[in-house]
Structure 1
Amino acid sequence: MGATIRRITILGCYNAMATTLFGPMDIFNQAGRLWNRLGKLPQTPFFDVVIASVDGKPIRCLNNVLVQPHCSIDAVDSTDLIIIASTTYIDKILETGPGLVPWIRRQYARGAHVASVCTGVFLLAETGLLDGRSATLHWGFADMFRKRYPRVNVNVDRMFIDQGRLYCAAGANAGMDLSLYLVEKFCGRQTAIQCAKTMILDMGRERQTPYGAFLLTRSHGDPVVTSVQEWMEAHHTETIDYDRLAKKHRISRRSLERRFKQATGLTPLGYLQQLRVDSAKRLLEDGRYTVAEIVDLVGYADISFFRKIFVKLTGLQPRAYQQRFGGYADAGSGNA
């Protein structure tokens, strides 16, 4: 008797990133196929995958390519798993597809698993299914998401999150990580390993922290905090006296710390650490400096303390970060 073939519906909406449609689709389609084909064994597919749009019409992707779906959502009576591809303009999507949220909720109530990739979590959050639960998404959209969905617990450290029958992946490539994880969940570890090997994909990536960048918040509307930010950014490699900094801006240190935290979500010290680590990341990516040199260049005196802060904010040791992001100078040389 053959393996149970599960039905997967990849939901594409306006301005989806094409990778978030086709990446998961290829992984699920190849499960039980490519490994067996290469080993000259009978192919045993595990999934039946379709792409659906709200009305069955082509999906205009972020790269301006039109993707013809297999069907509309109304043609999908039942499915085992829905994967929501990235959705950049959530208000437009809701306006042009008022049936999307009820359809997702209906499928979930019938027992379907629902996953989102990158900003697809905006549409998943609109269903209310994530209220009181944890979710992740691309680090660049986290603040926007938090403001719109305050009942969802955002954890941008995670590459993907499993909440039972609800899943979120951080970014486009994290959708591949989540797809491998779901292959393992539905079909077992060995099948997932076979998928990873045949498609040359890493398994076990759990954190997106090393890929993040420090986004300087300027939209908070507090001119004093903005002025302090600008001064700190220009002087972040120096020793900062916060009492003098507050006096320079004609407020007390206590008021400075309160207003700064309220406006940016960070204390002045936390902001300084982010600035210094961000500078260190760029120097490590440059590749011309040792870690000891970088510690001094960004304003730290203790290399052990620097490493502790760096790991806290990036999830990697400085040398490991440099090895991952330090460039491709030797990639084509053929030297071991």
Structure 2
Amino acid sequence: MKRVAILIPVGHFSVVNIEGTHHVFSWVNQWLIQSGRQPYFDLQLVGLSRPTQQSTGLFEIHPGRLISEVDRVDLIVIPAIHGDFDEVLEANRPLIPWIINQYKAGAEVASLCIGAFFLAATGLLDGKRVATHWQFANDFRMRFPKAIMVDDKIITDSDGLYTSGGAFSFTNLLIYLIEKFLGREMAVMAAKSFMIDIDRNSQSPFILFNGQKEHHDDAILGAQKYIEENFQDKVHVEELALKFGVGRRSFERRFKQATSNTVVEYMQRVKIEAAKKALEKGRKNVSEVMYEVGYSDTKAFRTVFRKITGLSPVQYRNKYAPQEVKKTLLS
């Protein structure tokens, strides 16, 4: 039986993450019992105090055990914890050495959504691929430069450390863990019962690109502004470097360091973000949108669009266009 510690941290923790994890794993246990097998998960709510009041005052959880009462576990689940991260870290500091010691003793650790910030604070994610809510990916990169942020992924799995993308995509990680521990058949059954889209591995279609501007490089900020205001035009890297008085090699290096994108990647993402917004309105066809954002090669546009969003332009429009447009497309 796998001993699972679902952490109940101090602060504005995600009740959905906690109850959802307990619910899905409990369902697996019940299914196994009904099939004449032994339950697999020994679920424990583990915290720092009894009871633990959510900082919003809306919920109160009574952990079954405190970390001082737990000897060994096999899997630790860290829910999302909202609010100022420095305050979150300080309020939950005793959990850090406990998680590290449990991991060194053989436990695996899974963080859900922005719970990745807390897991990263242990240092265990240094050098490892990490997923979190796409909206906080740039903040994560700044705080934890030794970790490898992959903001398009829903799930990462590295050396017994698991992370998940934003919000309700934590359910995809739960299904992934069920398959890893108990096999594909059980994972499919759980996915069907909870109506979770199994094998979904990208949060790219949901990402709203907003270039990283929380840096202090004025030349790069100026270049970002220029790109965003002139995305319909063909902008050359050499022209940008000259315009802002920086040598090309230095400009490209500083741009990548400041924004986590190359200059070309940034241009592409700005164009595709504009294309997404136009397609969401549904008033123009794909070719019209393509030309509007500065592309003239249909194949190139589709290739870049799919690379960034995980969908073709037509698929994206069909997914996000207004209902009246969808009815027209389907009629």
State the TM-score, normalizing by the size of structure 1. 0.85
Whether the 8 Å CA contact 2:127–2:146 is kept in 1: the answer is: yes
Cα 1:258/1:172, change in 2 over 3 Å: closer
Whether the 8 Å CA contact 1:33–1:44 is kept in 2: the answer is: no
1:130 aligns with 2:125: yes
Deviation at 1:294, TM superposition (A): 1.1
Match of 1:33, SS state, is helix
Deviations 1:211-239 (A, max 9, x none): 21212222222333323322322221123
1:70 aligns with 2:79: no
| Residue identity matched to 2:40 | F
| Residue identity matched to 1:210 | P
Cα 1:330/1:286, change in 2 over 3 Å: closer
Q: State the match for 1:33 in structure 2.
A: 30
Match of 2:233, SS state, is coil
Aligned residues: 326
Match of 1:8, SS state, is strand
Q: Which of 271, 287, 302 is residue 297 of structure 2 equivalent to?
A: 302
Q: State the match for 1:145 in structure 2.
A: 140
Alignment partners' CA distance in 2, 1:306 and 1:69: 53
Deviation at 1:301, TM superposition (A): 0.9
1:192 aligns with 2:187: yes
Structure 1 unaligned spans of 5+: none
Q: Which of 36, 41, 46 is residue 47 of structure 1 equivalent to?
A: 41
Structure 2 unaligned spans of 5+: none
| Residue identity matched to 1:82 | I
| Residue identity matched to 1:27 | V
Deviation at 1:291, TM superposition (A): 1.2
1:170 aligns with 2:165: yes
Cα 1:183/1:67, change in 2 over 3 Å: farther
1:8 aligns with 2:1: no
Alignment partners' CA distance in 1, 2:248 and 2:128: 37
Once the two structures are superposed, the pairs formed by residues 310-325 of structure 1 within 5 Å of their partners are 310-325=305-320
Q: Which of 250, 254, 266 is residue 271 of structure 1 equivalent to?
A: 266
Alignment partners' CA distance in 2, 1:49 and 1:150: 33
Deviation at 1:67, TM superposition (A): 3.2
Q: State the match for 1:57 in structure 2.
A: 51
1:92 aligns with 2:87: yes
Pairwise CA RMSD of aligned residues? 2.9
Deviates more, 1:187-196 or 1:17-26: 17-26
Whether the 8 Å CA contact 2:8–2:52 is kept in 1: the answer is: no
State the TM-score, normalizing by the size of structure 2. 0.87
